[in-house]
Amino acid sequence: MSVSVAGLTAGVRREARAWCEGEGWHWVFIVKTLLAALLALLISLRFDLDQPRTAMITVFVVMQPHTGMVLTKSLYRIGGTLAGTLASLLLVSLCAQQGALFIVGLALWVGGCTAGAAFYRNFKSYGCVLAGYTAAMIGIPAALAPLSFFDVALSRLTEVTLGILCAGVVSDVILPRRLSDVIAGNVRSRYLELFYFLRRALAGPLGQKELEGRQARIVGYVISLEAVRSAGFLEDPEVRSRDRRLRRLNGEFMAVTTTFHSLRLLSQRLTRTASPVGEVLGTLYHSFGSTLELLGGAPGSAEEAYRLARSIAAFRAPLRRRVAGLRRQLALHGPEAQVDFETSVELMNRFVRELHAYSRSYAALLSREDGPKPPDDVRFASRTDPLVALLTGGRALVAILLVGAFWIVSAWPYGSSALLFVAVVCALLSMAPDPPKAARGMVLGFFCGLLAALLFKFAVLPSLSGFALLCAGIAPLIMLGLYLAHSVGWFDAGIGFVVFFTTMLAPGNPMRLAPEQMLNEGCATVLGITIAGLMFQTLFPVNGAWLGQRLTGQMRRLVVLACFLPLEGLLSRFESGTYDLLFKLSSVRGEGGLNERGIFSGLFPVIEIGRAVLHLREDAASPLLSPALSDRLARCVREVAKLFEQPSAARRDRSVALVEESIEALREERQGCAPGPCEPWRRLLSSLHLIRCALLDDETELMTTIGSAQPMTEQGVADAA
């Protein structure tokens, strides 16, 4: 009986711990957000601020699960608010007497800020959003009464700052969840994911669905670490002191995963062509898998990670001996088999070397070693399509002009409310990965928030007396919206609900109960929100197959940049840019889109070509090469760039021919060289052979879209860089 009770107690503890680590944190965040919003409401009422709802809405928008993200977001919110205030001052001072001119100026400002929000990432994007809709929040009421501009501006700045302070204090004092802990969890989780992925892939072939799922998670780990690293820079001195190590760890993670995918793709190609090297590579492939199997479970501590690094280093010596013996055996199978073998060996050595470096960096980060800082030569370069940003800004501009024109022509007393929410919603939707879907969710949330506010304000609120009962009455509705946003996954609908419920409730001291005014304002704002949603749904829809084609075009342009830009730091920028685009592509849905063929199987060969070009350019600078061979390799790189500028069957054939001619010239020049100096030739041979194999691979995304890309001018290359 005691054993059963002990087992039951242990099971309950495990379940409780699992709930606290998962769903429990969602409820902690919901309660903290509610407390911060009510604190902002209390202070606003105590000091008789003009619109306490602005402070509450600021809490809902600013609050993040982690302290560092609140601080970072608040910093950009204050900067965006100041910029929007200055823009509204300029618009009101110049155009207050000319309504049409004011609306045109406001549309241009909000459209530009919306385009900036779509172009930038993370909190820079959020700063642009705030600059856009703050100008509308202050400028529209001030344009109706220009003499009250400074009162309105000061009131909005005070309320926004109060909301920011309440969110920051509550987030930092009540059960703070530091980004440094999240970073440590991210680093550990992706190391375990990589370890299990390598063991599974080295043990046997993976199914396409499983492979795509694991690759998507790996790409997501890269982007999430970069996001929390940049946010945690302001929060924790430890994060700042380890910033270089984290960036280098992210770069090493991308390098080892990309090299392994190149090795796996080469193995598949050799198997399809029944090359004698395929079996040899399979032997080396599985021997390394056996090394990982002997280690047992995945490393969970710094000591275990160091042990794995030592095992990987120990694998190099027998690998060199086996390679030497296999090289002599394959000498009888002709030059093509030798090229396949040398390329396989180069990739295998590179993979083992990069995995060893990544394991040591991971172990050093876990053990919190204070050794010398690594060189500051790794930069994460995100990639955003300027055309997508311009179209997003254009939608906001058109929506504001349409609603503004209707307001002027109809002289509708509540047209200003519709115009205000058009600007606000257009700015918010610019950050959404799928704006049409977000628009539908937000419109639904706003409509439900309006109904909830009507019922509460006129059926419940009259029977409540005092601040305590007011908080008790609105808390369940606010928690419902936050739960939908952060636990169920209906983020846009949930945030729309709490924002619009608070807006329509308009808590104040005293409360103003005016049903006709509330209905008019509610209908006007719902109309403005609906128009903004329709604009994002129908006008220049930047999602689905079209967006997938734009993103794959950007991937090809990165290869063009790899052919021409200076080499210093280019490899890390190229890899981070490709992973950023892969992350965006993984969320694209559309009929006939890349998802139906498989994102990673179609695009990793393109990444493989870009990396091979970079390694080729590095090794081509060796003084051991003759000028004639160097010129031939440079011409080969230029031809590959032309192919990626405008894919066509003729350019593909010309590129393959030049690569094969370079391989032959390289073979002739390397004959009779001493064993030591042969290494640059082997690396050059491997790079050329990888480019040729990828260009001849019919499953490569480049081959499936030949003839569809537009030429990229030299100016376009410079702009993209």
Cα 526 to Cα 521: distance, rounded to the nearest angstrom: 8
Q: Which of 284, 291, 290, 285 is nearest to 308 (CA)?
A: 291
Q: What would the DSSP string read from start to end of 197-246? A: HHHHHHHSPPPHHHHHHHHHHHHHHHHHHHHHHHHHTTT-HHHHHTHHHH
Q: Answer whether residue 83 is part of any domain.
A: yes
Highest averaged pLDDT of the listed ranges 115-124, 201-210, 352-361: 352-361
Average pLDDT over residues 620-628: 80
CA dihedral 217, 218, 221, 223 (to 10 degrees): -100
* pLDDT tens, position by position, 519-545: 888 888 888 888 888 887 777 666 667
Q: Answer whether residue 6 is part of any domain.
A: no
* pLDDT tens, position by position, 638-663: 999 988 888 888 888 898 899 888 88
| 321 shares its domain with 353 | yes
- Is the pLDDT reported for residue 706 higher than 80? no
Which SS3 state, helix, strand or coil, does residue 400 take? helix
Q: Answer whether residue 246 is part of any domain.
A: no
| 345 shares its domain with 410 | no
Average pLDDT over residues 598-615: 78
Cα 344 to Cα 346: distance, rounded to the nearest angstrom: 5
Which SS3 state, helix, strand or coil, does residue 411 take? coil
Amino acid present at 38:
L
Burial class (CB in 10 A: 0-12, 13-18, 19+), 283: exposed
> What percentage of the chain has pLDDT greater than the value 90?
9
What band does 715 get if pLDDT is binned at 50, 70 and 90?
very low
Which SS3 state, helix, strand or coil, does residue 646 take? coil
Task: Extract the tokens encoding 573.
Answer: 């920028």
Host domain of residue 61: 25-177+385-538
- List C-alpha distances in Å: 128 to 103, 135, 404: 19, 11, 22
* pLDDT tens, position by position, 407-418: 888 888 888 888
Peptide bond into 510 cis (omega under 30): yes
> How high is the pLDDT of residue 458?
87
| 343 shares its domain with 484 | no
509-513, 540-544, 580-584: range with lowest mean pLDDT: 540-544
| 330 shares its domain with 398 | no
Q: Answer whether residue 34 is part of any domain.
A: yes
- Size (the chain), residues: 721
What band does 712 get if pLDDT is binned at 50, 70 and 90?
very low
**Final residue in a domain of this structure, among 538, 571, 598:** 538
Q: Report yes or no: 301 and 366 within 8 Å, Cβ to Cβ.
A: yes
- 482 vs 8, residue with greater confidence: 482
Q: Which of 695, 640, 638, 630 is nearest to 666 (CA)?
A: 630
Q: Answer whether residue 229 is part of any domain.
A: no
Average pLDDT over residues 174-198: 79
Cα 628 to Cα 664: distance, rounded to the nearest angstrom: 13
- Is the pLDDT reported for residue 37 higher than 80? yes
- Is the pLDDT reported for residue 719 higher than 50? no
What band does 5 get if pLDDT is binned at 50, 70 and 90?
low
Cα 721 to Cα 716: distance, rounded to the nearest angstrom: 9
Non-local CB neighbours of 680 within 8 Å, separated by 6+ positions: 619, 622, 624, 625
Cα 363 to Cα 356: distance, rounded to the nearest angstrom: 11
| 669 shares its domain with 712 | yes
| 48 shares its domain with 162 | yes
| 338 shares its domain with 200 | yes
SS3 assignment for 37-73: HHHHHHHHHHCCCCCHHHHHHHHHHHCCCCHHHHHHH
> How high is the pLDDT of residue 38?
95
Which residue stretches of 456-511 are H helix?
A: 467-483, 491-505
| 169 shares its domain with 94 | yes
pTM: 0.79
* pLDDT tens, position by position, 65-87: 777 666 666 777 788 888 988 99
Alpha-carbon Rg for the chain, nearest whole angstrom, is 30
- Is the pLDDT reported for residue 594 higher than 50? no
Non-local CB neighbours of 255 within 8 Å, separated by 6+ positions: 354, 358, 575
Average pLDDT over residues 416-438: 80
Q: Answer whether residue 675 is part of any domain.
A: yes
Task: Label residue 319 left, alpha or beta by phi (over 0 means left) and psi (-120 to 50 means alpha).
Answer: alpha
Average pLDDT over residues 445-451: 88
Instruction: Give the chain's mean pLDDT.
Output: 79
Chain centroid to CA 334: how far? 47
| 191 shares its domain with 282 | yes
What band does 716 get if pLDDT is binned at 50, 70 and 90?
very low
Neighbours of 10 (CB within 10 A): 10
Q: Answer whether residue 554 is part of any domain.
A: yes
Average pLDDT over residues 445-461: 89
Cα 85 to Cα 503: distance, rounded to the nearest angstrom: 21
Cα 157 to Cα 81: distance, rounded to the nearest angstrom: 7
Domains in the chain: how many in total?
3
Cα 135 to Cα 426: distance, rounded to the nearest angstrom: 13
Q: Which of 284, 291, 257 is nearest to 270 (CA)?
A: 284
Task: Extract the tokens encoding 544.
Answer: 């689905």
Cα 301 to Cα 192: distance, rounded to the nearest angstrom: 11
> What percentage of the chain has pLDDT greater than the value 70?
81
Q: Report yes or no: 511 and 460 within 8 Å, Cβ to Cβ.
A: no
Q: Which of 375, 373, 367 is nearest to 188 (CA)?
A: 367
* pLDDT tens, position by position, 135-165: 888 888 888 888 888 888 888 888 888 988 8
* pLDDT tens, position by position, 244-260: 888 888 888 888 888 88
Cα 87 to Cα 66: distance, rounded to the nearest angstrom: 31
Cα 664 to Cα 335: distance, rounded to the nearest angstrom: 10
**Final residue in a domain of this structure, among 367, 397, 421:** 367
**Final residue in a domain of this structure, among 367, 395, 413:** 367
Q: Answer whether residue 15 is part of any domain.
A: no
| 91 shares its domain with 115 | yes
| 31 shares its domain with 167 | yes
> How high is the pLDDT of residue 720?
41
- 409 vs 212, residue with greater confidence: 409
Cα 14 to Cα 93: distance, rounded to the nearest angstrom: 63
| 586 shares its domain with 597 | yes
Average pLDDT over residues 22-28: 76
